[in-house]
Amino acid sequence: MATGRTTPLARKVEDQIQRFTGMLAQPFIALHVAGLYASAGDIDGLTRCRQQVENASPGSNRDTSLALIDSLVDLSESRYAAAANRLQALDRETRIGVGGSRVERILIDLIEQRAVAQSRQLSA
Query: Is 4 a member of any domain?
Result: no
Q: What is the pLDDT of residue 4?
A: 60
Please list the rounded mean pLDDT of every run of 10 residues in the chain (124 residues).
Answer: 72 93 94 94 94 94 97 95 97 90 92 96 86
Query: Is 6 a member of any domain?
Result: no
Query: Is 3 a member of any domain?
Result: no
Q: What is the pLDDT of residue 8?
A: 86
Q: What is the pLDDT of residue 2?
A: 53
**Containing domain of residue 117, as a range?**
11-123
Query: Is 2 a member of any domain?
Result: no
Q: At what angle do helices 43-54 and 27-39 cross, to 10 degrees?
A: 160
**Cβ proximity of 73 and 54 under 8 Å:** no
Task: Determine the Cα–Cα distance for residues 102 and 37; give it in Å rounded to an integer.
Answer: 22
Query: Is 119 a member of any domain?
Result: yes
The total domain count for the chain is 1
